[in-house]
Amino acid sequence: MTQVLVTGGSGFIGSWCVLALLQAGHDVRTTVRDLGRESALRAQLHAAAEFDDVRLTVIRADLRNDDGWADAVAGCEYMLHVASPTLRSAPESEEAMVSAARDGVLRVLRAARDARVRRVVLTSAFGAVGYGHPPRSTPFTEEDWTNVDADIAPYQRSKTLAERAAWRFVQDEGDGLELTAVHPVAVIGPVLGPDDPPSLRIIHSMLDGQVPACPPFGSSWVDVRDVADLHLRAMTDPAAAGQRWLASAGRSLRIVEVAHILRQRLGDRAAKAPTRELPLALARVLSRFNPQLRALRPQLGQDFDATSAKAEQLLGWTPRPIADTIADTAESLLAHSMTTRR
C-alpha cells in the first residue's frame, strides 16, 4: 500500500482519517505540533482498531514555520491536509487567523509539490461555501462560495481565503500537483479519546443542561467517520481531482430537533436537553449580551442546508443516518466523561 501524510493527526477529523487509512492498509505518517501527544494518540487509535504500530509514524511539524515539512512529506504519494486554526485555539485577531490558515495551506502545498506528491486532499469546510448569503430555500452545493465581504465569523473567512489561495497555487505553481477539497458541514460523531472538539460542544452543552432553550437556526450535519471515508475516496478516485466535495448527511436540522433526537434515543440520560426553541426576536436581543449567542448572530433565523449529491453520485459515498450519529455522539461523550453527568 501507499504512504500517506495526514497533517493534524491528533485532531477530531485528523485522527479518524489516520484510523481509516490504517484500516485500509496504508502506511501513515502524521504531524502534530507537540510530540508529547504521540503516546496518547497511539493509545486512542489502538483502542479503536488493531494495526501494526510500525505502520504509523508521528512527526513534529507546525503550520507556522517550515521546519519538519520536507521530512514529513518525503516519500508520500498522497497528503490529507486536515490541520488548520480552529475555534478552540484561534489566534487573537481575525487577521492572524486568516494569515495562519492561508500561510499554512501554502506551506504544505509547496512541500507536497517539491516532494512530488500525487494529490493533496484539503479539508476545507462548509464555512467556505454557505456563509454571507441571504436566506435561501435551495441547498448549497459545491458551486457556492462564502461571501467574505459579508458579516461572517473569522473562522469562516479564514477557511474561504485559505482554500482560494490553495486553488490559485495549484493552478499557478503546482507543477502537476493535484488538489481536491472536502467541505464538511457540522461534524459530530464519536470521539477517540477525552478531547473536546468544538463541533461537539452543542451536544455536550445540551446533555449537561447548559442550554435552557435552543438557538433558532438549523444546520446540516455529518458523521466524522463518514468525513474520513470521503477523504479516502477523494484521495484516490480519478473523478475527484480538481473538485470540491460537500460532506452532509441530509437536510438541515434545527438545533431543537437535535435535542429531541437526544431525548428519544437516550431517554433519562438526555433529560436535561432543551425542548423548546428561542423566539427569533428574543434571540437577537439576547445576542447583544450573551457571548455564545453573539457568535451565532449571523446564523440566527437561517437553515443552512447542503447537499452531498455530487459525492454520492460520483464517488459512491453514502453517509449514515444522522439520528444514529447524534446518538453515537452522545453515547461517546458520556462514555468519555466529557459531560458533568457522572
Q: Which of 102, 107, 159, 233 is catalytic?
A: 159
Decide if 272 is catalytic.
Answer: no
Closest residue by Cα to residue 157 from 179, 137, 128, 130: 128
C-beta neighbour count of 312 within 10 angstroms: 13
CA 97 to chain centroid? 17
Query: Which stretch of DSSP H or E encloses residue 121?
Result: strand 119-123
Q: What are phi and psi of 202, to 5 degrees?
A: -65, -40
Angle (CA) 139 142 144, round 5° = 70
Give the distance, in angstroms, between the CA of residue 52 and the centroid of all CA atoms in the same chain.
27
Is 49 in contact with 59 (CB distance < 8 Å)?
A: no
**Contact indicator for 208, 334 with CB cutoff of 8 Å:** no
User: How many CB atoms neighbour CB 135 within 10 A?
Assistant: 8
> Which residues, 6 or more positions from 257, have their beta carbon under 8 angstroms from its beta carbon?
218
Measuring CA to CA, which residue among 251, 264, 256, 247 is closest to residue 330? 264
Do the beta carbons of residue 182 and residue 231 sit within 8 Å? yes
Q: Are 34 and 60 in contact (CB under 8 A)?
A: yes
The three cell numbers of residue 31 are 504531524
Please report the DSSP string for 305-331 in residue order: -B--HHHHHHH---PPPHHHHHHHHHH
Name the residue among 267, 274, 192, 272 with its Cα closest to residue 16: 192
Active-site residues, by number, are 159
